[in-house]
Chains A and B, each alone.
Chain A
Amino acid sequence: GQQLNQSPQSMFIQEGEDVSMNCTSSSIFNTWLWYKQDPGEGPVLLIALYKAGELTSNGRLTAQFGITRKDSFLNISASIPSDVGIYFCAGPRAGSYQLTFGKGTKLSVIP
């Protein structure tokens, strides 16, 4: 089945640094979604991408839908302590309503 590979699995950064993480698939996706999950909470949608090449920002977050439709990346600029959490990429399996999630990137921010 379709798999989403996220990297890195975890990262430790200093407050104020920029962060980049990405998600790749062996199959084409028509939609890419980026979610953030805080400890003990449900995933919260950060950014949704619907077109190849699309670049979308949400505050300090920027995400891009890769031209090949097999990858996406998420950048966080000037990280702050509340950016801590697990970031998931997700997309619907082709021809289905079902979302496939990556295993997540765990972000830790050192003040």
Chain B
Amino acid sequence: DSGVTQTPKHLITATGQRVTLRCSPRSGDLSVYWYQQSLDQGLQFLIQYYNGEERAKGNILERFSAQQFPDLHSELNLSSLELGDSALYFCASSPSGGEGETQYFGPGTRLLVL
């Protein structure tokens, strides 16, 4: 158990819909990262937050957005969902978000868009 929690574990929805994925980092970690894992693309970095502020952006679509709240939990919002958005979405956390810092991953949310 990494100490990072994610909800829900599974999510099934239809194209065009909007969903919110939630992540609670390890106790004491200030930085949160979101990743998308699909069969053909592997693990792709989406976005990083540190203490409520966006720190780095990766391959995140404009239809996706995220935020980190004062209690340090984070939410990833996916809108206008398409079939290709079906994937595993992981949240990770680290103490201060520095370069090369070890990231601890949650169990993931499996999203299926029908």
Q: A residues touching B (Cβ–Cβ < 8 Å)?
A: 30-31, 33, 35, 40-45, 48, 50, 88, 90-92, 95-104
Contact = CB atoms under 8 A, between A and B. Distances in A.
B48 A98 contact: yes
Nearest to A101: B43
B106 interface: yes
B13 interface: no
A20 to B, nearest CB: 21
Interface residues of B, number: 26
Nearest to B6: A42
Interface string B33-65: 100000000110100100000011010000000
B56 A98 contact: yes
Nearest to A90: B43
